[in-house]
Amino acid sequence: MSKRLKLTVRKGRNEEREIKVQISKEQYDKLLGKSPLYSKQIKQVNQKDIYYDREDLYLTNLNRGLRVRFKGNTPELLEFKSLFYNPYTQNNNPWFIEEIAFPFPLEVNNLEKLFSLLVRLNLLSPIEVTYYSFEPSHFPRIEQILLNLNLKPMIVVSKKRVGYEDGKVRYLFDYIEGLGYFLEIESEGEDPLKILNRLQIEDYRIVRNGYNDMLATKIVGYVPNEEKQKKFKENPSWNILPTEKELVAEMLSCYR
């Protein structure tokens, strides 16, 4: 079935006030023991994120992520994230995170958007799109499409998360299999670092990488985050593909 596709799709945000730190198990248990500090428990879940990529880590090395999120054993949604750099931002955060979510089962409009995304990423040609039928699709079909494009399950993030909120602040306590214990603070107002300091944690390490990026360091061909940061400083648009220049220019005025 031939179908004309839109060339761009987006849902993004350009500013986050959050901080993520790695802490010891002792500090993790101690902070969870102080849960009355937080006014409302918002979630306690076991999650598994499977990141699909080529064996050469094409997407990961471009600061992209294409993952399937599971709640228990049930695939909930396919998510795409992309990180761009805006050196001319008016705020203190030069990073722009683009996010697109495709809940399962994918309805026809979301399947169209997914194909548009794959074309944009040079993983699928517009002609190849015409070979696919446009119909509501559950996870098995979507996974087969990804596998046909040589996108394999390359990174698995197994997470146990407990979340609390206190007004405009969220505290996310994570245990990541193979990595350890983490605390993420998200704030709509106050500087998260100030909130962190009030917790009086004895020892912590600020983490600027995603869990998938941290796990990818064990895979041959992974480009270290430090090298990617250097690339951004030398050429802020290095990870913008020719097929998405107009889209990024729309999201970030500095590239118009």
Residue 142's Cβ-count burial label (10 Å; 0-12, 13-18, 19+) is buried
Rounded to the nearest 5°, which phi and psi values hold at 93?
A: -115, 105
Judged by DSSP in three states, 143 sits in: helix
List, for the chain, all residue ranges whose pLDDT scores fall below the cut of 50.
1-16
pLDDT in tens, 26-62: 999 888 876 555 667 667 888 999 999 999 999 999 9
Q: Look at residue 2 and tell me if it is in a domain.
A: no
What pLDDT was estimated at residue 214? 94
* Residue-level pLDDT at 133: 93
> Which run of H or of E encompasses 113?
helix 108-120
* pLDDT attached to residue 75: 96
Residue 195 CA to residue 167 CA, distance in Å, equals: 13
- Asked whether residue 159 is domain-assigned, the answer is yes
Does residue 69 belong to any structural domain of this protein? yes
**Within-domain flag for 10:** no
pLDDT at 168: 84
CATH of residue 105's domain is 2.40.320.10
Q: Are 175 and 61 in contact (CB under 8 A)?
A: no
- Residue 68's φ and ψ, nearest 5 degrees, are -110, 125
Distance (Å, whole) CA 175 – CA 168: 23
Model pLDDT, residue 44: 80
Vertex 243: Cα angle to 130 and 113 (nearest 5): 45
Judge whether 40 lies within some domain. Answer: yes
pLDDT of 255 reads: 75
CA atoms within 13 A of residue 174's CA, in its CB half-sphere: 22
Q: Is residue 185 part of a domain?
A: yes
The range of the structural domain enclosing residue 151 comes to 15-222
The pLDDT of residue 4: 34
Calpha distance 149→59 (Å, rounded): 13
pLDDT for 36: 52
Joined tokens for residue 166: 């206190």
Helix (H) or strand (E) holding 227: helix 225-234
Instruction: State how many domains the chain has.
Output: 1
Report if residue 19 sits inside a domain: yes
Give the pLDDT confidence score for residue 35 in this predicted structure.
57
Residues paired with residue 84 on neighbouring β-strands, in sequence order:
96
DSSP bridge partners of 216: none
Give the count of beta carbons closer than 10 Å to the beta carbon of residue 75. 20
- Is 216 part of any domain? yes
Residue 92 in tokens = 């203190």
According to DSSP, the residues that pair with 74 across neighbouring strands are 71
